[in-house]
């Protein structure tokens, strides 16, 4: 198991745009494994490479419930092809913004195209939790965080909290 440290807000790498992956080699397969190990240990249901400091277009997800077998999804160079007009509001959290949860409105369904670890192009319709998770994780690849969908007041409050925590941590070290 190769668990990697998860970057926390306000780390500037969380706001960077990730680079496309040109070829799927052993290093990409190892990155996907490391990301899944990190996500499971956190624990979370999704993780994007920028959250562990890798500015590459790869995300991992697993929406299996605790009593179900693992069902990992690895998406390389994912892109959303279609958004539904219908929206849903759900509570979201983020491993890079721990212990804070806010309601976010997003399209209820999406169609996503990506490359899997075998190099195959996959087109997949996603609804419910998967649609929300896909949108949340793909946002990370473009430097967008779920708090960007909140009111300015709430977003500023979250940023101030994490900036203060970062300053205190630096003083303590």
Enzyme catalytic residues = 137
What SS3 state is found at 173? coil
* Whole-number Å distance between alpha carbons of 108 and 73: 19
Residues facing 171 on adjacent strands = none
Select from 133, 146, 143 the least CA-distant residue to 47. 133
CA distance 173 to 164: 15
DSSP 15: G
Q: DSSP character for 138?
A: H
């Amino acid at each position: 198991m190769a668990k990697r440290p998860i970057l926390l807000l306000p780390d500037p790498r969380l706001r960077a745009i990730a680079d496309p992956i040109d070829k799927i080699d052993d290093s990409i397969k190892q990155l996907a494994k490391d990301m899944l190990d990190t996500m499971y240990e956190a624990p979370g249901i999704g993780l994007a490479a920028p959250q562990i400091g890798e500015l590459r277009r790869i995300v991992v997800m697993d929406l299996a419930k605790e009593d179900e077998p693992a069902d990992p999804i690895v998406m390389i160079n994912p892109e959303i092809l279609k958004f539904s007009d219908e929206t849903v509001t759900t509570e979201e959290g983020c491993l890079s913004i721990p212990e804070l949860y806010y309601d976010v409105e997003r399209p209820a369904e999406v169609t996503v195209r990506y490359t899997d670890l075998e190099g195959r192009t996959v087109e997949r319709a996603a609804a419910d939790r998967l649609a929300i998770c896909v949108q949340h994780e793909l946002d990370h690849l473009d430097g967008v965080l779920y708090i960007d969908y909140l009111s300015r007041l709430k977003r500023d409050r979250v940023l101030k909290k994490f900036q203060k925590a970062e300053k205190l941590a630096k003083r303590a070290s």
